[in-house]
Structure 1
Amino acid sequence: MSKSYENLPGAAGKARFFRPNRYEASTVFAGSPPRLTFEDEVFDLDNISAAGAGCIARGRGGDLGAPAGTSGVLRLTQHGRELFLGAARKVRRLAGSSGVSVGFELEANRFDLDWLIRENASVLAREGRGVAPDLEPDIHYKSFCADATAFLGGYLLRIQKHVAPIEDRCTADDLNDIARDLAAAAETEWLDLISRGNELTARIHNDKQKRIAYKSYTERTVSQVLMGGPGWARCYYKPAGYPGDYKIMNYGYDPRPEGDTVAQKFLHLLGMSASRFVITRMETVASLIADYAAARGSEGGEFTVTSVGAGPAREIKDLLELAPENTRWRINLVDQEPAALDYAFDSVARLSERDRLSIRGLNISFREMLRPSSDNTVFVGNDVIYSSGLVDYLNPLLAQRFVKRLYDFVKPGGQVIIGNVNNLETGRIWPLEYVTDWSLYFRNEDEMRAMACDIPGAKVSVVSDPLEAIYFLVVEKPAE
């Protein structure tokens, strides 16, 4: 039954004051937002709406710039091309850990966002971003990229000549079978190329300028070929706004052909062979938790476990299969992505042994876990708290703080288990960082142990997954 106009509710509280939609600048401008200047101040554009913009001035120290309330001329530029010029007022100025956060409100006109997005993209496409000659990759890396591109191109050429002309006569199953056969034939040499790429990039990875140059060269060569595969494209373009969303994880967990053509399916399956560590990471963390339960509850019992950055939580199925049959589990799933929690709950509901489980979801970020909160009581007294793919994104100091926080939550005799990609030749530093621009902290064994360096009395160990692509830090609290 429809409502009359006098019965339609309005907004409450601050929501009554309408504001135009605000968008993340890195998302709407495809990772390369224009630069904002206000009078003689220069800012990184953080977010934008039709009526204004939020910015960051990094490394300003004690200089906060012009005070809030100042009016002046605001410009948006990309590669020296002026995209916008107009009057604006600084409405917010706040010093923070990452720099000075500033908000601007346009005074006389508005941003035409559609035009800005199109023009920004056009300028980037015309101008590009040059690399200083002394930062160009060395001949060995260029030769490697040529070899990788030729390897991929050889398979794609054969597909184009021999398979593409008959694709319209094939069923979907036929196309999938052809793609699987091709990927199986290519896998050994492809994995060898990945190891070679890992070795070459590990040498320069800690040099930020060289890393940028090597990534740029890789994106102009190898990445352009691989983007035909749906998995590679999702990792590179990051439609969720960040890497590692649960759909990307599910590609790795379910390595089946994706795409419309044999070429797309073939490239996707090559990506799945490169991301097989996603499965071994899942299996290893399930095994570590099951071993913990077996050692402490040979006659069964109930254990409380929390997964931070849970994603699709596919390891729960393995955990039920590996742990003693009479073991029960209270599992908390923590993730910032509601869709990931929805997927995890639906998956658990289909498990045949779900009667051994009690599942609770918490949609918060890891930063909220670092703050005192009544929500955090869910973590107190846990047997195991684990995080398989979150600490990879945290700098060393934040990673230490995070691990210490988790350690404080677990009960005496409990464990914190942290998975992190490693920097070995057997790892995945080249396809992740250089091919798909998936930036992580690729840690060695000493760096893994350093995450627990400020936890006195803890038993600390580092183990690896079977592929030697992932390290696991295991921090055990002494029993009382």
Structure 2
Amino acid sequence: MSKSYEHLPGASGKARFFRPARYEASEIFSGNAPRLIFEDEVFELENISLRGAGAIARRRGDDGIAPGAKGVLRLTQQGRELFLGAARKARSAYGSGGTSAGFELEANSFDLDWLIRENASVLAREAGRAEPALEPDIAYKTFCADVAAYVGGYLLRIQKFVAPIEDKLDDEERGDIARDLASAAETEWLDLVQEGNRLTAEIHEDKQQRIGYKSYTERTVSQMLLNGPGWARCYYKPAGYPGDYKIMNYGYEQRPEGETVAQKFLHLLGMSASRPIITRMEMVASLVADYANARSSGGDAEFAITSVGCGPARELEDILDETPENVRWRVNLVDQEPAALDYAYERIATMKGRDRLNVTGLNISFREMLRPSADNAAFANNDVIYSSGFVDYLNPLLAQRFVKRLYDFVKPGGQVVIGNVNNLPTGMMWPLEYVTDWSLYFRNENEMRAMAGEIPGAKVSVVSDPMQAVFFLVVEKPL
């Protein structure tokens, strides 16, 4: 029911003082924002509105121009000037990341649409003049040509035989055709994925070669595959980072997405390569269920578990299915993405056996988990803490600190379970890192064990999912 104007609420408190919308610079400038220069101070642009901007200078000490000073503000990209105008330095503060500052324009405003377009234009023009990346060897170039020819062959079939009658098909019929084509292509496609994994694993630790191979893959293979919604979401990362819960749901659901048969077909190709997302989820559920079944002794029991980087939390369904009805669960779901927690709660509400779950959602970052605080008391005395897709993003030192921190939270006899993509040909290195620029730490078995290297007395083991794409580190605390 609509409200009359006299019943429409306004804002309260400080929110009553209207400010133009402020945008994250990394998002609206496609991850490569202009540089902000105020007089002779150089800053990285962090956010921008019609009338001002926030920025940070990576230097020690706040010894620059004092707040309140007026001067000339410029935005530049690749040495090209995009904006020049009078501004005032409204604020300045020194912190651990450098000196942050806010600027207000004096007489004019930013034309954001023009800035976004011009910034992109400069980047596109200058990219061709950059120092060329190290070229891949002939074996990899041949491989990329084989991939393009294989996928292109299916797209040609679609163009010749399906496109002329596609407007007569409904969405379900388009999906059925895409499924048939993807099923026919799958065996040889997965062989190509394994070959890509093998070729890139040989050079992956060499940063310069990795950059060159990624650049070549983007120019030759990625541009063909990005017409598929799954590939595009992984590559463009609209949530601001890879691996958001919607990408995970694509992998779990394995449904044709997109408008056309070609888009749906390309999407399903990507999903066939991402099936380890499903086996990873099933594996972590089995490990948690095995722990509970070994300790419940047939009677009523309750176990406390925490999922760090929970995403859609689909494993809870399998955990309920694989444990007796007299086993109950206290569950902490931890994620930095509120939308992921919203989705998880909505899904849990429809689960069979929902009354066996007592769920708490925690919207916190991994750094907060590393920090000793009263807020972290929720994790204390857990039976199992697991993270099946988060440590992949952490460097060896941070991963080791993180695993040790989780280990501190589990009770004697409890376990920490860590899933991490591996660097084997059976894994996902090529489609993730090289096709979609989804950078992870692809670890071998020794590197998995090294994450528990600073935990004396723990029982440490490494197991794999059935597809040999993901390793699981299991760290058990002695009784």
What TM-score does the superposition give when structure 2 sets the normalisation length? 0.92
Q: RMSD value over aligned CA atoms? A: 2.3
The letter of the residue matching 1:159 is I
The farther-off stretch of 169-178 and 180-189 is 169-178
* Structure-2 change in CA distance of 1:128 and 1:178 (3 Å): same
Q: CA deviation at 1:380?
A: 1.0
Cα distance between partner residues in 1 of 2:410 and 2:255: 38
Distance 2:79 2:478 in 1: 60
The answer to whether 1:235 aligns with 2:234 is: yes
| Aligned counterparts of 1:342 and 1:133: Cα–Cα separation in 2 | 44
Cα distance, 1:367 vs structure 2: 1.9
Task: Measure the CA separation in 1 of the matches of 2:159 and 2:286.
Answer: 44
Q: CA deviation at 1:304?
A: 0.7
Deviation at 1:97, TM superposition (A): 5.0
Residues 439-462 of structure 1: CA distance to partner in whole angstroms, max 9, x if unpaired? Answer: 222222222222222222221221
Looking at structure 1, the residues matched to 183 and 374 of structure 2 have their Cα atoms a distance apart, in angstroms, of 51
1:319-468 equivalence runs, <5 A: 319-468=319-468
1:188 counterpart residue number: 187
Q: Which is further off, 66-75 or 446-455?
A: 66-75
Secondary structure of 2:461's counterpart equals strand
CA shift, 1:428, in A, is 0.9
Which region of structure 1 is more displaced relative to structure 2, 368-377 or 386-395? 368-377
* Corresponding residue of 1:163: 162
CA-CA distance at 1:158 after TM superposition: 1.1
Q: Deviations over 1:326-385 (max 9, x none)?
A: 211111111122221121112112122212222221222222222233332211111111
Q: Which residue of 2 aligns with 1:204?
A: 203
What is the Cα deviation at residue 133 of structure 1?
A: 4.0
- Structure 2 letter corresponding to 1:268: H
Q: Which residue of 2 aligns with 1:220?
A: 219
Matches of 1:260 and 1:8, distance apart in 2: 40
Cα distance in 2 for partners of 1:166, 1:3 equals: 51
Q: Distance in 1 between matches of 2:465 and 2:131?
A: 39
Alpha-carbon separation, structure 1, partners of 2:10 and 2:160:
63
Structure 1 residue 19, shift from structure 2 partner: 4.0
> Distance in 2 between the 1:285 and 1:437 partners?
26
> Judging changes above 3 Å, is the alpha-carbon distance between structure 1 residues 101 and 194 closer, same or farther for their aligned structure 2 residues?
farther
Could you say what secondary structure the match of 2:84 adopts?
strand
Q: Deviations over 1:117-161 (max 9, x none)?
A: 121122233333555346222322222222111111111011101
3-state SS of the aligned residue for 2:351? coil
Partner amino acid, structure 2, of 1:464? S
| Distance in 1 between residues matched to 2:229 and 2:344, nearest whole Å | 22
Letter in 2 for 1:26: S
In the alignment, structure 1 residue 259 sits paired with structure 2 residue 290? no
Percent of aligned positions with the same letter in both sequences?
A: 74
Instruction: Flag the 1:204–1:35 CA change in 2: closer, same or farther, 3 A.
Output: farther
Specify the code of the residue in structure 2 equivalent to 1:24: E
Check whether the contact 2:312–2:343 (CA below 8 A) recurs between aligned residues.
Answer: yes
Q: Deviations over 1:43-91 (max 9, x none)?
A: 3322222333333444x4x476624435543322223321112234445
Q: 1:420 to 1:93 in 2, by over 3 A?
A: farther
Q: Measured at CA, do residues 225 and 8 of structure 1 come closer, stay the same or move farther in structure 2, by a change above 3 Å?
A: closer
Residue of structure 1 in register with 2:20 after alignment: 20
Contact kept in structure 2, 1:422 and 1:444, CA below 8 Å: yes
1:239, distance to aligned residue in structure 2 (A): 1.7
Q: How does 1:132-147 map to 2 (within 5 A)?
A: 132-133=131-132, 135-147=134-146
Structure 2 Cα separation of the partners of residues 88 and 464 of structure 1: 58
Q: TM-score if structure 1 supplies the norm length? A: 0.92
Contact 1:298–1:324 (Cα < 8 Å) also in 2: no
CA distance in 2, matches of 1:413, 1:419: 20
> SS of the counterpart of 1:45?
strand
Taking a change above 3 Å as real, the CA distance of residues 108 and 394 of structure 1, as seen in their structure-2 partners, is farther
Residues 43 and 208 of structure 1, relative CA distance in 2, 3 Å threshold: farther
SS of structure 2 residue aligned to 1:135: coil
Give the alignment of 1:62-211 within 5 angstroms. Answer: 62=60, 66-69=64-67, 71-94=70-93, 96-130=95-129, 132-133=131-132, 135-211=134-210
Deviation larger for 206-215 or 350-359 = 206-215
Alpha-carbon distance in structure 1 between the residues aligned to 2:478 and 2:392: 26
Correspondence for 2:309 = 309
Q: CA deviation at 1:309?
A: 1.0
**Counterpart in 1 of 2:474?**
474
| C-alpha distance in 2 between matches for 1:257 and 1:366 | 33
Q: For structure 1, which runs of at least 5 residues remain unmatched after alignment?
A: none
Whether the 8 Å contact between 1:461 and 1:474 is mirrored in structure 2 is yes
CA–CA separation in structure 1 for the residues paired with 2:49 and 2:450 = 42
Q: CA deviation at 1:411?
A: 1.0
For residues 321 and 151 of structure 1, do their structure 2 counterparts lie closer, same or farther at Cα, with a shift above 3 Å needed?
same
Shift in alpha-carbon separation, 1:267–1:10, aligned structure 2, 3 A = closer
